[in-house]
Amino acid sequence: MRLDSKLPNVGTTIFTVMSQMAAKYHAVNLGQGFPDFNPDPKLLNLVSEAMASGHNQYPYMSGVDNLREVIAYKVKTLYQCAYDKDTEVTVTSGATEAIMATALAVIQSGDEVIVIEPNYDCYVPAIRLAGGIPVTVAMDPPDNPQATFKVNWDRVSKAITSKTRMIMLNFPHNPTGAVLTSDDLDQLEHIVSGTDILLLSDEVYEHITFVAQGHLSLASRPNLAARSFVISSFGKTTHTTGWKVGYCCAPSELTHELRKVHQFMVFTVPSPFQHALAEYTKDPSTYRALPDFYQAKRDRLAQGLRKTRLVPYACPGTFFLLADYSNISDVPEAEFAVWLTRNHGVTVIPLSAFYADQKSADANHKLVRFCFAKNDQTLDDAINKLRLV
Ligand code: GLN
């Protein structure tokens, strides 16, 4: 039987591979990004109540009315962008579906799509399945542990051709923790002004920032919002990664195209979760509490790492922190991550896994990614093991 793979270079994701390895070696898993604690019991009760009160059949295709209303309100109050809940807000099966549906909806065969590298793993396959051509543009790495990776806008600008259809962005940034500054937004505005380039802005960590300015959404700039699919996920915001509820806000003509794909990809998203999240998210303290909550965990991990031979890097956003292992080893990142799991019982993700050419020197900075969305005890257990490395 002849079978030509549409994604010949795709294997099992690094997150699954490392989680399986963590289980095999009984390692403390600070690799895959998911909380090891339960969401707020209030939210769990709201799901049970939604089920008991009969919200168990297909909800409306683009998401239940209350949830779209709450999302539109949240985005308006935080980013001063008024999306119409009926025509511009779509509830999706996690951010992953929003990303795939956006790509399939607007990328045509041969279109070029700029991806900022290192990048989250689902972007390039989404572009390829849509028939597009990914064009990766590397961020500038930090030259000291107090700094972060930064987008090199000159390089982005030079990568643009007449075939560029879209730029995919992700800030706060997984895996580096970098956040956007207003200068970044100025430069992006300048680059896309007068073009037909669309933007996909993956903002799933929007509520997890540790900087005074908070998160700078593309929705906060009218010139950018007009050409953007702004995507987020309740998985990160409510500690429910397994529920797979996300959303996409985009101007109506963009949303119209997105929904054509969404309706045939999943049609809709589980009803009880949507009703529960709508009720829960009405209270802004549920997301406004996240920076303090996660900052304490970030600081606990960073302070713990300072007692080891690993060197933690600055983390202005997300629940991921990079650390340099060059005091311990000079093997490539992937090898170091496997060794650390097997020999010392702590699982991390190699930063190189977020690059197209994972073995290249440019992808290997001797940095690994730690997830600190964990109970304090889990973080302490990992530190105790790392002190022996
Ligand atoms: N986003 C999570 C991470 O970066 C993983 C999600 C997944 O396993 N697909 O670790």
Per-residue pLDDT reduced to its tens digit, 45-56: 999 999 999 999
Which protein residue has the closest C-alpha to ligand 1 atom 4? 33
When pLDDT is cut at 50, 70 and 90, the band that residue 14 belongs to is: very high
Which protein residue has the closest C-alpha to ligand 1 atom 2? 33
| Residues 112 and 163: beta-carbon distance below 8 Å | yes
Q: What is the pLDDT of residue 207?
A: 98
Average pLDDT over residues 266-294: 98
Q: What is the pLDDT of residue 80?
A: 98
Average pLDDT over residues 111-134: 98
Residue 1: C-alpha distances to residues 7, 8, 10, 17 (Å): 18, 16, 21, 29
The tokens describing 218, both together, are 């593309």
pLDDT over 90 for what percent of the chain?
A: 99
Atom of ligand 1 nearest to the CA of 16: 8
Backbone angles phi, psi at 183, to 5 degrees: -65, -40
Ligand 1 pocket check: which of 18, 34, 36, 348 to mutate, most ligand atoms within 8 Å of Cβ?
Answer: 34
Decide whether any atom of ligand 1 lies within 6 Å of the 122 Cβ.
Answer: no
Q: Does domain 42-283 have CATH number 3.40.1390.10?
A: no
Of the candidates 186, 166, 189, the one whose C-alpha atom is nearest the C-alpha of residue 116 is 166
User: What is the rounded average pLDDT for all residues in the chain?
Assistant: 98
When pLDDT is cut at 50, 70 and 90, the band that residue 174 belongs to is: very high
Residue ranges covered by each domain of the chain: 14-39+288-386, 42-283
pLDDT over 70 for what percent of the chain?
A: 100
When pLDDT is cut at 50, 70 and 90, the band that residue 307 belongs to is: very high
When pLDDT is cut at 50, 70 and 90, the band that residue 357 belongs to is: very high
Q: What is the pLDDT of residue 309?
A: 98
Q: Does domain 14-39+288-386 have CATH number 3.90.1150.10?
A: yes
